[in-house]
Amino acid sequence: MAVETLVSVEEYLNTSYSPDMEYVDGVLVEINVGDPIHSFVQGRIAHAFYQKYPEIIVLPEVRSKTSETRYRLPDVAVTLRMPEGRFIKEAPYIAIEILSEDDRVTRLIEKLKEYAAMGVPNIWVFDPRLKQMFVFHGNSLQEIEGDTISTGEPRLELTRAEIFQD
């Protein structure tokens, strides 16, 4: 059984990890390092947003403060203006998680609930293997059956073809 070493928030924020880690109540949490299909979809999402909406800020894997003792790394965070400082302190407009083969549902739901609690209005999940799109709303994950996933106002949208390889 592994022994968890507690790390202070200050130490976490002033240390670089390779790959980066999330911080949950004093414990460093390894994230699943993206495999090629995960990275491919992450790149397509960023590219599509940059092409369609040059005025927004797209931030892959940026440290985001979800509570006083938790920092997460959304696969893609979208903000309407450049955050101040070295990490996101305010809720991004969109937080996106891209599933990897090793992701566990319980850990994913815990992270999505943190995004909701911090006030993220649009929480999206993509499964690159099954080419599925989901929104997390009201503590539930709802699959998008159509070809477009979108926000409210301001409206930002991506199509299934923009996200996944056809």
Helix, strand or coil for residue 105? helix
Beta-strand runs (E) in the chain? 21-24, 27-30, 57-60, 64-67, 70-72, 76-79, 94-98, 122-127, 132-137, 140-144, 148-150, 157-159
pLDDT tens, position by position, 9-62: 999 999 999 889 999 999 999 887 668 999 999 999 999 999 999 999 999 999
Q: Rounded to whole angstroms, how far apart are CA atoms 123 and 69?
A: 21
User: What CATH architecture applies to the domain 32-163?
Assistant: Alpha-Beta Complex (3.90)
- pLDDT for residue 3 is more than 50: no
Residue 137 DSSP one-character state: E
What integer pLDDT is reported at residue 88 of this predicted model?
A: 94
**Domain positions in the chain:** 32-163
pLDDT tens, position by position, 97-146: 999 888 888 899 999 999 999 999 999 999 999 999 999 999 999 999 99
CB 59 within 8 Å of CB 77: yes
What integer pLDDT is reported at residue 166 of this predicted model?
A: 62
Helix, strand or coil for residue 41? helix
Q: Rounded to whole angstroms, how far apart are CA atoms 112 and 97?
A: 9
What integer pLDDT is reported at residue 101 of this predicted model?
A: 84
How much is the pTM?
0.93
- pLDDT for residue 2 is more than 70: no
